Amino acid sequence: MSTAVNQTTPAKVDGLRRRIGFWLRNDAAALLWPGRCLVCEEEAGEAIDLCERCVAGLPWLGPACLRCAMPLPFAHPPGAACGACQATPPPLDQVHAAYLYAAPLDRLVPRFKFHRDLAAGRLLSQLMAERFEPLPRPEALVPVPLHRARLRQRGYDQALELARPLAQVLGVPLRPGLLRRVRATAAQSELDREARSRNLRDAFRASPAAMPRRVVLVDDVMTTGATLHAAARALRRAGVERVDAWVCARAP
Ligand SMILES: [Zn+2]
Ligand SMILES: [Zn+2]
């Protein structure tokens, strides 16, 4: 069991660019027109579309609950769950968040999600790959699916777009077909906590196919966790033994 991601400190920031070598742009165009930082528009490095200063300013998640990625005080015993997760164990075994949902993630995520900024999506996926690389690999990555009505409206599924390169880089099978969203639900952002989980009851259905034993759900942001929990319950009902979630950002 690894707690590496939720415990990473800013001291590790130096290695970020080096370790995202798999996306290194070494073609002639990149040399002629160096990338611009997607946050401040300064010149970016070779590996990712962020400048040194913005990489250093990314909102790291300090010590966090292993079950829900909620930030915890530094004095909390490492690896222990928060009070809420101890009182009511959630259907997710572990949640790993690459970052806190704070600047600049709170701009990059909506740009990708609502304004078709695919460069921002690529950057978010790179950051997730870099942060989740040390974690044990599951048997499958399953992006939290959109309902087809929402997909038609938006034109792309943001969780799938984040999960696709992540699966490739980490060498984990991508299995979006294991979970379907069978009910179009109201936008979660407009609902309070209780209404969110009511809204999501039976929203997901797992495929009748044989299920892997260990699955990681992928999503952009975790807020209350209601969506991820509903998805995890559907997978567990279908026989998955262990469900974790990897999200780009945790909104505390
Ligand atoms: Zn910058
Ligand atoms: Zn917790």
| Structural domain that includes position 131 | 62-250
**101 near 250, Cβ under 8 Å?**
yes
Report pLDDT for 48: 85
**How far does residue 221's CA lie from ligand 2's centre (Å)?**
16
**How far does residue 201's CA lie from ligand 1's centre (Å)?**
41
Ligand nearest to the CA of 54: 1
**How far does residue 95's CA lie from ligand 2's centre (Å)?**
9
Report pLDDT for 99: 97
Report pLDDT for 30: 53
47: in domain: no
Report pLDDT for 82: 93
90: in domain: yes
From first to last of its 252 residues, the chain has per-residue pLDDT tens of 444 455 444 444 445 545 554 454 445 555 556 689 999 999 887 778 999 999 999 999 889 999 999 999 877 777 789 999 999 999 999 999 999 999 999 999 999 999 989 899 999 999 999 999 999 999 999 999 988 888 888 888 999 999 999 999 999 999 999 999 987 776 666 667 777 767 777 889 998 888 999 999 999 999 999 999 999 999 999 999 999 999 999 998
35: in domain: no
**How far does residue 33's CA lie from ligand 2's centre (Å)?**
45
Report pLDDT for 188: 63
33: in domain: no
**How far does residue 82's CA lie from ligand 2's centre (Å)?**
4
- Domain with 98 in it: what CATH number? 3.40.50
42: in domain: no
151: in domain: yes
4: in domain: no
**How far does residue 235's CA lie from ligand 2's centre (Å)?**
20
39: in domain: no
The whole-model pTM stands at 0.85
Number of domains in the chain: 1
Contacts 24+ apart (CB under 8 A), 167-173: 167/141, 169/22, 169/129, 169/133, 170/129, 170/132, 170/133, 170/137, 170/141, 171/137, 172/137, 172/138, 172/139, 172/140, 172/141, 172/216, 173/139, 173/140, 173/141
